[in-house]
Amino acid sequence: MKRIVFALLALLVLALAAGAPSGAAASEATDVIKYTVEKALAILDDPELKGPEHKEERRKRVMEVIEERFDFEELSRRTLARHWRDRTPEERREFVDLYTRFLQDFYMDKIEDEKRDKVLFMDERVRGKVAEVKTLVITTTGTEIPILYRMKRNAAEWKVYDVIIEGVSLVRSYRGQFNEIIQSSSYEELVKKLREKISGE
Amino acid sequence: MKCDLPKWFIVLLLLAAAPCAAAAADGGVSGTGGDEYALDPDFDSDLSLDGPPPIPDPLEPFNRAMFWFNDKLYFYALKPVARGYSAVVPQFARVGVRRFFANITTPVRFANSVLQLNFRSAGVDLARFVINTTVGVAGFTDPARDRWEIFPVDEDFGQTLGRWGLGPGLYITWPVFGPSSARDTVGLVADSFANPVNYVLVSEQAALIGVKAYERVNGVSLDIGVYEDIKRDAFDPYIYVRDAWHQHRENLVME
């Protein structure tokens, strides 16, 4: 009798173990993106924060939400690719800081768009320690913009390392351009250009 | 998670050696190393790669000249005209016109879905056409999307050729029409034979050009700011547009 109970328990545990990780992981990836996007949209749609006079406050609060979910160091590392290895720790820190500021403005413009009607959470794929969550931004101008979030699991957390808008990867687009600048002139030139972009906003 | 056979076929081709069981368990058990590449071919943990190569661009001087021309065309002709037009025509009407044109070009997308053996996409597009032409009043509204959540598909002959295994070839910027590739230029010409607009106005060259220009102005009026954003976000707008366009197209082929 004891043996049968033990066998049944073992089976149950096995079934749970087999089912649980995929089930939990499957909804988890979408859940974290949904949480971040909805929190950011709630700030953007807050009537008290509307209008250009609240732009700074609004953006600051959205950035806090984004920083919880985005891994900007990973984004920077992947964008610089092999040039990352040639940088000193100070240079890396500086680059992450500049690139983060640049990307926040870039991404903010995309989600602050007044043409946004709603955001739908469509689909997700999980492979090993990478997940992809597909969202669809419905606009008021008769178009749909697919935005994909690619995430990597760091310790116990999913962190965004790339955003793909209409099939165009943020990391890949800037990797190509940055590589061009570094190869045709220098890394210092890239830093200079980044600073100009940020202050030009 | 829906089982989309053609998509899996591509993924399987890429993986080559991946066991079918792993592919069937979508979003399932985290398996052996390298799985990440199935989802993100650009997933490179040791930074040894520069990622997939960009599209070949031997015509760069010509393309840059055309890019400059199109840039001026946009700022000095298209945009001002579109602004004037949008001051007169309310947005809902312009969205309606955009949808009307999208609806009547269903034969182009349908034919290409079938050529790619993507019957799901063909079915979706047919369903959208039937619903939007009737309930949606000749395609001016999109109840298929708004009421039944049937989202539009995007298929053309350039993608069909890509699906059949043809690479994009070289990058080319056409005056007026913008970024394209050798493959997609062939696709554009082939698709024009399936576009009903071209048949209705086959003997009326001037009217045909007028209709095309109108469709373009209508589209631009709804998308003012998009190109400006691209230029502002870019360090080299030409390279940015070229790479983004290439990524966008290859992604459509894969879907």
Given a cut of 50, the residues of chain A with pLDDT beneath it are 8-9, 11-25
Going by pLDDT thresholds of 50, 70 and 90, the confidence category of residue B42 is low
Cβ–Cβ < 8 Å for A95, A191: yes
Query: Do A81 and B98 make contact, defined as CB atoms within 8 angstroms?
Result: no
Amino acid symbol at A201: E
Neighbouring residues of A198: CB distance < 8 A, sequence distance ≥ 6: A98, A101, A102, A105
* Residue B219 at interface with chain A, using a CB cutoff of 8 Å: no
Query: What pLDDT score was predicted for residue A154?
Result: 82
Cβ–Cβ < 8 Å for A100, A76: yes
Cβ–Cβ < 8 Å for A27, A126: no
Give, in degrees to the nearest 5, the angle at Cα A65 between A175 and A60: 90
Classify residue A81 as left (phi > 0), alpha (psi -120 to 50) or beta: left
Give the residue with greater pLDDT, B10 vs B205. Answer: B205
Q: Is the dihedral of CA B232, B182, B252, B128 positive or negative?
A: positive
Q: What's the whole-number mean pLDDT along residues B208-228?
A: 93
Q: What is the dihedral of CA A82, A85, A91, A95, to 10 degrees?
A: 40
Going by pLDDT thresholds of 50, 70 and 90, the confidence category of residue B135 is very high
Give, in degrees to the nearest 5, the angle at Cα B231 between A119 and B72: 120
Give, in degrees to the nearest 5, the angle at Cα B185 between B182 and B188: 155
Q: Which two tokens stand for residue A50?
A: 């509307």
Of A163, A136, A165, A159, the residue nearest A149 (C-alpha)? A163
Q: Is the dihedral of CA A49, A52, A53, A57 positive or negative?
A: positive
Q: Which two tokens stand for residue A64?
A: 């806090």
- At residue A116, the 3 state secondary structure works out as strand
Amino acid symbol at B19: P
Of A153, A114, A116, the residue nearest A132 (C-alpha)? A153
DSSP B47-63: -----SPPPP-TTHHHH
Query: What pLDDT score was predicted for residue B180?
Result: 96
Cβ–Cβ < 8 Å for B235, A193: yes
Count how many residues are written for chain B: 255
Going by pLDDT thresholds of 50, 70 and 90, the confidence category of residue B43 is low
Lowest mean pLDDT: which of A83-92, B17-26, B126-135, B217-226?
B17-26
Please list the helix, strand and coil fractions of chain A in percent, rounded to the nearest 5, in that order. Answer: 65, 20, 10
Going by pLDDT thresholds of 50, 70 and 90, the confidence category of residue B47 is low
Q: How many CA atoms lie within 13 A of B249 on its CB side?
A: 28
Give, in degrees to the nearest 5, the angle at Cα B124 between B122 and B126: 70
Query: What pLDDT score was predicted for residue B20?
Result: 30
Longest dimension (CA), chain B: 61
Q: Which two tokens stand for residue B129?
A: 């056409």
pLDDT higher than 90, residue B66: yes
Query: Do A141 and B1 make contact, defined as CB atoms within 8 angstroms?
Result: no
DSSP B204: -
Task: Enumerate the residues of chain A whose CB falls inside 8 A of the CB of residue B33.
Answer: 128
Q: From residue A72, how far is each of A98, A163, A181, B246 by CA, in Å? A: 10, 12, 21, 25
Q: Kindly state the helix (H) or strand (E) to which residue A90 belongs, with its residue range.
A: helix A89-112
Q: How far is A1 from chain B (nearest CA, A)?
A: 33
Query: Do A106 and B51 make contact, defined as CB atoms within 8 angstroms?
Result: no
Q: How many CA atoms lie within 13 A of B228 on its CB side?
A: 7
Which of B92, B154, B233, B249 should we substitute to test contact with A (largest number of A Cβ atoms within 10 Å)? B233
pLDDT higher than 80, residue B50: no
Q: Give the integer Cα–Cα distance in Å for A60 and B239.
A: 31
Lowest mean pLDDT: which of B48-52, B94-98, B211-215?
B48-52
Task: Enumerate the residues of chain A whose CB falls inside 8 A of the CB of residue B40.
Answer: 130, 132, 150, 162
Neighbouring residues of B202: CB distance < 8 A, sequence distance ≥ 6: B208
Lowest mean pLDDT: which of A117-131, A167-181, B14-28, B120-134?
B14-28
Amino acid symbol at B237: P
Which of B12, B32, B47, B242 should we substitute to test contact with A (largest number of A Cβ atoms within 10 Å)? B47
- At residue A72, the 3 state secondary structure works out as helix
Query: What pLDDT score was predicted for residue B25?
Result: 35
Going by pLDDT thresholds of 50, 70 and 90, the confidence category of residue B29 is very low
